[in-house]
Structure 1
Amino acid sequence: MSARIYQIQKNAMQSGKALTHKWVLEFAQAEAKTPDPLTGWAGSGDTQSQVKLTFATQDAAIAYADKYGIAYTLIPTPPKTLKIQAYADNFR
């Protein structure tokens, strides 16, 4: 059972920074998804892949994984870059 720990990033459609300070522990898929013969929807018997745990800090997520013996991969947060420009720069 392995997991990955990462910080939530805002998507391109968001301007605010709500919930981007939280850290997530998400389990990896143990088996591949297969199509259901009746509906055609993809599914599997792996219920661990549905679990997403949120933590206030990176250290709390790592402590949880260590406490329960979960192998994890820490995905570092990319640096935030700001492109500061004025509206008048569009007309130069």
Structure 2
Amino acid sequence: MQARIYKRPKSAMQSGKAQTDQWVLDFVPAEAKRPDPLMGWAGSGDTQQQVTLRFASQEDAQAYADKYGIAAIVHPVPPKRLKIQAYADNFR
């Protein structure tokens, strides 16, 4: 059972930063999805894909994974790059 631990990114649809301070542990799919013969919806028998655990810190998520023997890969947070410019730079 493999999992990944990452910090939630900011939503691209809004400028707010709600829930971006949470760390998420979710499981890597164990099997590929296949279409249902009747409805055509994509699905699989792997129920671990539905589980998403939220933690306050990376250490809490890593401790949970270690406690239950989950092989977790931690994805580090990329550094924030601020492009500071003045409004007048739009007209140069």
2:64 aligns with 64
**How many percent identity over aligned positions?**
72
- Give me the whole-angstrom Cα distance separating, in 2, the residues matched to 1:4 and 1:49: 12
Q: How high is the TM-score relative to the length of structure 2?
A: 0.95
Task: Report what 1:47 is aligned to.
Answer: 47
Q: CA deviation at 1:11?
A: 3.0
Instruction: Provide the rounded CA distance (Å) in 1 between the counterparts of 2:25 and 2:12.
Output: 22
Give the total of aligned pairs. Answer: 92
Q: Secondary structure at the match of 1:26?
A: strand
Q: TM-score when scaled to structure 1?
A: 0.95
In structure 1, runs of 5+ residues without a counterpart are: none
Map Cα deviations across residues 14-42 of structure 1 (whole Å, 9 max, x no partner): 32221111000000111111100111110
Q: Is the Cα contact below 8 Å between 2:11 and 2:17 reproduced in 1?
A: no
Rounded Cα–Cα distance in structure 2 between residues aligned with 1:14 and 1:20: 12
Match of 1:80 in 2: 80
Q: Which residue of 1 aligns with 2:22?
A: 22
Q: Which runs of 4+ in 1 moved over 2 A?
A: 11-14
Give RMSD over aligned pairs: 0.9
